[in-house]
Amino acid sequence: MEFKERILTALNHEEPDRVPVMGLIAEPATSNRILGKQPGDLVSMLINPELKNQITDIVNSTWQDLIYGNFADVLEAAIKIGFDGNWTTYTLMRAHEDPEAKLGWIFHDIWGRAWEITTDENGDIVVNYIRGLCTTEEEWDAWVESKKPLYDEFIVGAADFHRRLADNYGDRILPIGYTSVGIFSSTWQQMGFVNFTRYVYQKPDFIKRVIDFQTDLYIKYLDAIMKSGVEVVIGEDDLGQKTGPLMRPELIEKLFGDSYRRVSELVHKQNKKLIWHSCGNIYAFLDRFVEWGFDGLLTMEPTAGMELGRVREQVGHKLVLVGNLDVSYLLVRGTREEIEDAVKKAIRDAAKGGGYILAQSHTHRSVDPTRLAWMIEAAHKYGKYPITV
């Protein structure tokens, strides 16, 4: 059985030849190490007074090629290491001077969020969300009005990005379209969580306008990805923190439930599968994920108390489960024996009857490629159907 059929069989809660293994590689730090490439020194060029304006113009005018090149490397790395599929995500940012930023430069994305550019100890680029840019209703209205051309560019870019990856790599790996900015996260992050929670009660009409806008944009984003040729899509909203929900599930249902149902309906009308990525302790949302129409769940963060067997017991085969291998220790410093034991436990807890795809619980630049390879080798060894571990 080849990689595409293997993943789609698991997503139908049927038993493939073996448990599929999905990659969450996204960072240049990881793909560079797998491919033996040296990182580009963008940060040094941005802070060089003789180069920074030229580099900024290049970044802003060639963004499409830059982000495609990053994920082309990601897929090459995922193929080399042996994954059946890997997520791919498109976003649109512009570089701006900012005296408050550590390096004097930040990225603005189209959702109204600011991202700081730094490098790690190896020189690989690190981009972190630092604040929202639309903290008032007036700032939000002005932002949306000024960014109208960028929203159209974003949708066209998302379709082109995923189509190129599907065309160029789809015969060797399954590129999985990942809409990495969710409706909940794009709503609160553009204004900050404190402002968001206050406006929910003080300005409910404003919050509804923002949610409606973000939902419509998300639907266009997802539709563009699906029409590019990908078979599976990943939706996203981090609804949990380490100890439980970020907000009461009843309030999330009231504010975002209809949005999530629209997302599921769109995917299913095109006969695609929707895996939902949500970090944190989210036991309280599992039944709602089923109700909202999601096909699968990705992450099940072990450091937030999410246990794969308990999730399977709660949802049965109403959700395909993806992930759960720890990235705080196991896939950073764990021994080969520890990784093999964790893979066997995950397979025992979730793989019988199909409906499980092995993956790390998340990704970051310290995840070790060698340990990812050990994970894949263990999955191939112990994940053959019928399951006997």
pLDDT classification of 40: cutoffs 50, 70, 90? low
The per-residue pLDDT for 389 is 94
Average confidence (pLDDT) over 121-140: 87
Q: Which ranges constitute the DSSP H helices of 62-181?
A: 63-81, 137-146, 148-169
For 381, the 3-state DSSP assignment is helix
Lowest-pLDDT choice from 39-48, 250-259, 375-384: 39-48
By percentage, how much of the chain surpasses pLDDT 90? 84
Cβ-contact 322, 362 below 8 angstroms = no
Answer for the pair 297, 311: CB distance below 8 angstroms, yes or no.
yes
CA distance 154 to 171: 26
**Phi and psi for 240 in degrees, rounded to 5?**
-125, 160
Tell me if 176 is assigned to some domain.
Answer: yes
Integer Cα distance of 256 and 245 in angstroms: 14
The pLDDT value recorded for residue 46 is 64
- Is 388 among the domain residues? no
pLDDT tens, residue by residue, 304-343:
999 999 999 999 999 999 999 999 999 999 999 999 999 9
Which whole number is the average pLDDT over 210-223?
97
**Residue 47 confidence (pLDDT):** 64
pTM of the model as a whole: 0.95
6-31 pLDDT tens trace: 999 999 999 999 999 999 999 988 99
* 281 in any annotated domain: yes
Q: How many CB atoms lie within 10 A of CB 148?
A: 9
* Averaged confidence pLDDT in the chain: 94
State the DSSP H helix or E strand holding residue 234, giving kind and residue range, or none if neither: strand 232-236
Q: Which residue has the higher pLDDT, 271 or 46?
A: 271
DSSP label of 40:
P
- Within-domain flag for 387: no
Can you tell me which residue has the tokens 């709602």?
A: 288
What is the rounded distance in angstroms from the CA atom of residue 275 to the CA atom of residue 367? 22
State the Cα angle at 9 between 7 and 11, rounded to 5°.
70
- pLDDT for the residue 229: 85
User: Quick one: pLDDT at residue 49?
Assistant: 66
Give Cβ neighbours of residue 248 (< 8 Å, ≥ 6 apart).
Answer: none
CA angle 72, 178, 380 (to 5 degrees): 70
Average pLDDT over residues 119-142: 87
The pLDDT of residue 98 is 81
Q: Above pLDDT 70, what percent of the chain? A: 96
Number of domains in the chain: 1
The closest alpha carbon to 186, from 143, 127, 226, 122, belongs to 143
Please name every residue paired with 127 in a beta bridge, in sequence order, or none if there are none: 117
- The partner residues of 224 in beta bridges, in order of sequence, read none
Domain membership of residue 389 (yes or no) is no
For residue 273, is it within any domain? Answer: yes
Contact 115, 129 (CB under 8 A): yes
* Domain region containing 344: 3-382
Q: CA geometry: angle at 32 spanning 356 and 89, to 5°?
A: 50
Q: What is the CATH number of the domain that holds 246?
A: 3.20.20.210
Q: Where does the pLDDT of residue 104 fall: very low under 50, low under 70, confident under 90, or very high at 90 and above?
A: confident
